[in-house]
Structure 1
Amino acid sequence: MSWNFSTLGEIAKRDGGIIQTGPFGSQLHQAEYQPEGIPVVMPKDIIDGHISITTIARVSEETATRLDRHKLKPSSIVLPRRGEITKRAFIRNEQEGWLCGTGCLKIELNGNILLPTFLYYFMEQLETVRWLEQHAVGTTMLNLSASIVSALPIRYPSIKSQHEIASILSSHDELIENNQRRIALLEESARLLYQEWFIRLRFPGYEHVRVVDGVPEGWELKTAYDSFQICSGGTPKTSISDYWDGDIPFYTPKDAANGIWVAHCERSITELGLKNCNSKLYPKKTVFISARGTVGKLNMAQRPMAMSQSCYALIGKDHISQIFVYMALHAAVESLRQQAVGAVFDAIVVDTFKRIHILIPPTSIIRFFDDVVGPIFEQVENLTTQSQKLRAARDLLLPRLMSGEIAV
């Protein structure tokens, strides 16, 4: 199999494609964003190769038409041009016409020389990631420009081989996406059940329970501060190498996963590092909430972990189970976000938990809830583990396919 060498900019020029940054602030003003309309993709919306619409900004059709040159086409690749510059997302058919937002950059190719899907996986390689980081400008925050991205060296085989390589890698991603869809349905069923039982108060036997001032008889209205142990973390000195790269996962806001479970962290510490920081080794099913950075992200530990000071670890007191802790906090955080519209939800402190009120049911109801929702959490955990194994297999294949070590 023969390989060709060029730069991304040269390929885009020959292929009739473009590499272009999103509109500057002078072209798209804050006042033009609105609750409904055409989605505008920002760096924060790029998660795990996809566009998340959870907190996506939107503009009117009129504004989108004015910014027509920034509209996205299917099979485009969007990446942040500042901050987390090594993230990227592949634009799907249903996202056609969305806008490449301020802070992002789009790559459009016609696929006559370089397939967009092949480029997407090419950009996931460690050497490509390092190249972008090394050539970005800025010290406190890395910045990319269209000219920097245009200079990216590309090594590529024939279109036929590109198709075959992309097909092998995308088959793994399709299985992962299928798992993610199943996980989303399972998690939604758990959320709906929590709302039905503990917010709408249609729990088993509710017809026979008297409710006074919104509190069923035998229940208690308490704060999260009084209901959960709120534990802090700490970071070992980064200058002492003996504290790092051990067997203990070290959870930070960067590791916040989309979904219930988190198993892997970007960094790990040693037993010595654990002894020399303010974090405990928190057991499986501990609930972590990010307090700074990506505020309010919730995860449940899939294995014992330590934690940085930018998070809190939460453990239920008395008869309160960890499943109930996770579900109650998930509902409470969504409520806090809604209350923060027009304000800034930029940090969680211990006093925040004093403002979160939760109805605490008796032991029998919590046990019944765990019996129903526990198997859902187990299914989600199994699917999460499957996806982790698929990602690991894909990540092993990726450099070997891209280097030609594995022939196609």
Structure 2
Amino acid sequence: MNNWPRLMVGEVCDSIVDCKNRTAPKEDFETPYKMIRTTNVRDGWVDTTNVNYVNRETYEKWTSRQIPIRDDVLLTREAPLGEVGKIRTDENLFLGQRIVSYRADRKKIDPDFLLYSFLCDDVQGQIRAFGSGSTVEHMRVPDAKLIKIAVPPLPIQKRIAGILSAYDDLIAVNERRIAILEEMARRVFEEWFIGTSDEMVASVDLIEFDPKEKLNKGKPIRFVPMSSISETHMTIGAVQRRASSSGAKFRNGDTLFARITPCTENGKTGHVMGFEHNEVVCGSTEFIVMRARSVPPAFVYCLARHSAFRKHAIQSMGGSDGRQRVKRNALEQFTLAKPDPLQLRKFDEFASPAFQQILQLAKQNTNLRATRDLLIPRLVSGEIDVSEAPKPVAAE
């Protein structure tokens, strides 16, 4: 252990700025000005792709206190409490509601070290303690300055941050490779199978929706919650273990289509991979399961991501305000050109290896995150020396 001083973050930051506590009016088209919401702040990262856009006037009003810049560390004060991310871009960003921004005083603290300090269990415990006692967990802005962290000398901070950043950099490389592979498959799908034809078919002729499955009773069931489904790519996040078998049921090769607002509009769609052979997995009741009949599984996933299919799904939604759901029969009746068997075979020969490579990259990222998360509290507390920390290894 060490004798590093414990300081309040207010003592090591140039500024700690809260967002405006009202919703900015957004545009229905892309602009250079992006709003960061609490959903964009996760696991040390700030997602600047799946965002809302505003005009310049709104951007200037919402950045009157401070313009967010690269290396600012963001903390969500509510919904959810305690998510942390660092800005890694020079885009025109501003803070949505319930987010606090920390700008490091670089003479006192390294921005990356500050980020990883916020991710460790000790600081997360302080944040939860500040948020306790409320119906909805939230942290007050004055408390955001009172969080205490261990502050070693700057050279040690930088060495610690360098080790942990190496894990995040490799994760980011793998994420980019996943995005490229998926984009390639979706582009080929659109070029080969989207268009009009003399012979049109309903998707139900090609795809089985919500197939029936039986589970072995008495065995723990793996469960995929809605929160584990991405808005932008196919990989599925953390999986739970449950005794109950309620919810949607699916196997490897199936596609999960989120049917409830706002998940549908936000694009939540997953491709089931990496489970045991013939294993039946459960998931949220708000999934529509799509299983290939006479087309490759990759075809089904790419169709579920296609803009025309998603628009058709959204237009079918019905129900009470705030709880609208896609009608399954509307998806079944979506029409598309009857695919040519030869093209289907060629598409499968291209897409299946790409999807397997995505699975391997996703597995490596899971292992990298697990190792990083074990190292964070031990390094930022000084429990282990930087020289003892393992270095990440890239996939072949």
Q: Give the TM-score category using the shorter length.
A: 0.7 to 0.9
Confirm whether residue 229 of structure 1 aligns to residue 202 of structure 2: no
Cα distance in structure 2, aligned partners of 1:286 and 1:183: 19
Deviation track 1:264-287 (CA, whole Å, cap 9, x = no partner) reads 32x2124xx33xx3554x322221
**Equivalent residue, structure 2, for 1:312:** 288
Deviation track 1:320-370 (CA, whole Å, cap 9, x = no partner) reads 221111111110554358869xx9895334244246333342443322210
Deviation track 1:185-222 (CA, whole Å, cap 9, x = no partner) reads 1111111101100114xxxxxxxxxxxxx224xx5420
**Equivalent residue, structure 1, for 2:228:** 255
Deviation track 1:297-318 (CA, whole Å, cap 9, x = no partner) reads 111122142212122222122x
Change in CA separation of 1:108 and 1:355 when aligned onto 2, cut-off 3 Å: farther
Spell out the pairing of 1:61-76 with structure 2 (5 A cutoff): 61-66=56-61, 67-76=63-72
Which of 336, 342, 346 matches 1:368?
A: 346
Confirm whether residue 378 of structure 1 aligns to residue 347 of structure 2: no
Q: Is the 8 A contact 2:206 2:292 kept in 1?
A: no
For 1:312, the aligned partner's letter is: I
Which of 374, 378, 381 matches 1:396?
A: 374
SS at match of 1:259: coil
Spell out the pairing of 1:260-339 with structure 2 (5 A cutoff): 260-262=234-236, 264-265=238-239, 267-270=240-243, 273-274=244-245, 277-280=246-249, 282-292=250-260, 294-295=263-264, 296-302=267-273, 303=275, 304=279, 305-317=281-293, 319-331=294-306, 332=308, 334-336=310-312
Change in CA separation of 1:346 and 1:125 when aligned onto 2, cut-off 3 Å: farther
Cα distance in structure 2, aligned partners of 1:226 and 1:374: 18
Change in CA separation of 1:34 and 1:373 when aligned onto 2, cut-off 3 Å: closer
Cα distance in structure 1, aligned partners of 2:104 and 2:237: 36
- Report the CA distance between 1:372 and its aligned residue: 1.6
Which of 197, 201, 217 matches 1:215?
A: 197
SS at match of 1:87: strand
Cα distance in structure 2, aligned partners of 1:86 and 1:248: 29
Confirm whether residue 356 of structure 1 aligns to residue 338 of structure 2: no
Cα distance in structure 1, aligned partners of 2:313 and 2:35: 20
- Report the CA distance between 1:24 and its aligned residue: 2.6
Cα distance in structure 2, aligned partners of 1:352 and 1:137: 44
Change in CA separation of 1:36 and 1:278 when aligned onto 2, cut-off 3 Å: closer
For 1:215, the aligned partner's letter is: S
TM-score, structure 2 normalization? 0.82
Spell out the pairing of 1:23-42 with structure 2 (5 A cutoff): 23-25=20-22, 29-30=24-25, 35-42=30-37
Change in CA separation of 1:360 and 1:70 when aligned onto 2, cut-off 3 Å: farther
- Report the CA distance between 1:170 and its aligned residue: 0.4
Q: Is the 8 A contact 1:298 1:330 kept in 2?
A: yes
Structure 1, unmatched stretches of 5+, are 201-213, 234-241
Identity %: 23
- Report the CA distance between 1:140 and its aligned residue: 4.9
Cα distance in structure 2, aligned partners of 1:148 and 1:187: 42
**Equivalent residue, structure 1, for 2:83:** 87
**Equivalent residue, structure 2, for 1:133:** 128
- Report the CA distance between 1:31 and its aligned residue: 6.3
**Equivalent residue, structure 1, for 2:393:** none
- Report the CA distance between 1:112 and its aligned residue: 2.0
- Report the CA distance between 1:5 and its aligned residue: 0.8
Aligned length: 368
SS at match of 2:20: coil
Cα distance in structure 2, aligned partners of 1:79 and 1:110: 17
Q: Is the 8 A contact 1:232 1:313 kept in 2?
A: no
SS at match of 1:164: helix
**Equivalent residue, structure 1, for 2:39:** 44
Structure 2, unmatched stretches of 5+, are 387-396
TM-score, structure 1 normalization? 0.80
CA RMSD in angstroms comes to: 3.1
Confirm whether residue 21 of structure 1 aligns to residue 38 of structure 2: no
Cα distance in structure 2, aligned partners of 1:351 and 1:127: 49
**Equivalent residue, structure 2, for 1:205:** none
Cα distance in structure 1, aligned partners of 2:29 and 2:164: 38
- Report the CA distance between 1:256 and its aligned residue: 1.0
Cα distance in structure 2, aligned partners of 1:110 and 1:347: 48
Change in CA separation of 1:229 and 1:40 when aligned onto 2, cut-off 3 Å: closer
**Equivalent residue, structure 1, for 2:390:** none
Q: Is the 8 A contact 1:76 1:108 kept in 2?
A: yes
Q: Is the 8 A contact 2:26 2:55 kept in 1?
A: no
For 2:289, the aligned partner's letter is: A
**Equivalent residue, structure 2, for 1:150:** 145
Q: Which has the higher contact order (CA 8 A, sep 6+)?
A: 2
Change in CA separation of 1:339 and 1:89 when aligned onto 2, cut-off 3 Å: farther
